[in-house]
């Protein structure tokens, strides 16, 4: 286990023999670091933090620090990070809060660009991209394959649907729909159709994209209110399961969704 002599590592840590801890890193108590994970330099890992295998942390990341919540009084809370994630410079990841479930969760194969932030009790899925300075407030859920653009902010308790695309500098105060492009600032975010290019790059079938576009037109361009649009959409026969995911997301939205 290569640990640079300038690193400070608490004796209670569980660090894999083939992990790498670079210069001036600080590894606090009760942390776990998985196989082949690399911490470059000046990285602070604190709290009850568990890091999976083959993660890469670039310099000056802040990992597992106390939640930025005034209700937090020092209770034991957690940060769980899966395998194969990349965290670029100055990324910050907070542990959960007792009232919020106690755990912040990050899945696998995600890419977090410089200065992005994951706040307490957020749940981040797999294959997600957060661009530079993208920010999740507390209790946010981001589903698999979503993209959050640079300098965008997602309000607490919001959901970002699977394969959603949030454009740069967007302010998201309600749920962001799956498979759809959401863009806008100053609480004026709007949807701009199915994320066709993104889905094509991910090899979605032509028929699936066609049906998602039709469902989009029924739900958002037909002039019907949400309840009536959902009824009409459900009466239509679909072969693509992704349409069902979109309609279910709309029905289950508690904060309302951007449209």
In the chain, where the domains are located: 8-139, 198-252
CA pseudo-torsion sign 166, 107, 69, 138: positive
Residue 147 pairs in a beta bridge with 129, 165
Query: 138, 149, 167, 184: which one is catalytic?
Result: 138
Both tokens assigned to 56? 């890469």
pLDDT in tens, the chain (259 residues): 699 999 999 999 999 999 999 999 999 999 999 999 999 999 999 999 999 999 999 999 999 999 999 999 999 999 999 999 999 999 999 999 999 999 999 999 999 999 999 999 999 999 999 999 999 999 999 999 999 999 999 999 999 999 999 999 999 999 999 999 999 977 789 999 999 999 999 999 999 999 999 999 999 999 999 999 999 999 999 999 999 999 999 999 999 999 9
Query: 42, 120, 145, 155: which one is catalytic?
Result: 120
Burial 22-59 (b: 16+ CB within 10 A, else e): bebbebbebbbbbeebbbbbbbbbbbbbbbbbbbbbbb
201 Rama class: left (phi>0) / alpha (psi -120 to 50) / beta: alpha
Domain 198-252 has CATH 2.130.10.10: no
Diameter over CA atoms, the chain? 66
- Rounded Cα distance, 180 and 245, in Å: 12
Q: Quick one: 120 exposed, middle or buried, by C-beta within 10 A (0-12, 13-18, 19+)?
A: buried
Query: 69, 84, 121, 175: which one is catalytic?
Result: 121
Please give the model's pTM, rounded to 2 decimal places: 0.96
Tell me how far the alpha carbon of residue 170 is from its chain's centroid: 15
The reply to whether 125 belongs to the active site is no
Both tokens assigned to 188? 């004026």
The reply to whether 121 belongs to the active site is yes
- What's domain 8-139's architecture? 3 Solenoid (2.160)
The reply to whether 120 belongs to the active site is yes
Q: CB–CB of 183/167 below 8 Å?
A: yes
- Rounded Cα distance, 226 and 219, in Å: 7
């Amino acid at each position: 286990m290569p640990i640079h002599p300038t690193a400070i590592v608490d004796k209670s840590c569980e660090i894999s023999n083939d992990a790498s801890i670079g210069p001036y890193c600080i590894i606090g108590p009760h942390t776990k670091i998985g196989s082949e994970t690399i911490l470059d330099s000046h990285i602070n890992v604190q709290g009850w933090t568990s890091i999976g295998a083959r993660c890469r942390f670039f310099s000056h990341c802040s990992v597992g620090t106390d939640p930025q919540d005034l209700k937090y009084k020092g209770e034991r809370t957690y940060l769980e990070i899966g395998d194969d994630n990349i965290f670029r410079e100055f990324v910050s990841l907070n542990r959960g809060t007792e009232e919020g479930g106690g755990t912040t969760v990050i899945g696998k194969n995600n890419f977090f660009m410089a200065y992005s932030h994951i706040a307490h009790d957020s749940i981040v899925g797999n294959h997600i991209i957060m661009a530079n300075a993208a920010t999740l407030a507390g209790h946010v859920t981001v589903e698999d394959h979503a993209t959050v653009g640079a300098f965008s902010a997602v309000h607490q308790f919001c959901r970002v649907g699977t394969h959603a695309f949030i454009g740069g500098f967007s302010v998201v105060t309600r749920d962001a729909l799956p498979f759809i492009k959401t863009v806008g600032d100053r609480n004026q975010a709007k949807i701009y159709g199915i994320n066709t290019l993104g889905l094509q790059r991910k090899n979605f079938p032509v028929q699936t994209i066609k049906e998602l576009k039709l469902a989009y037109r029924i739900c958002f361009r037909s002039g019907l209110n949400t309840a009536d649009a959902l009824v009409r959409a459900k009466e239509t026969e679909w072969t693509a399961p992704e349409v069902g995911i979109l309609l279910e997301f709309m029905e289950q939205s508690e904060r309302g969704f951007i449209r």
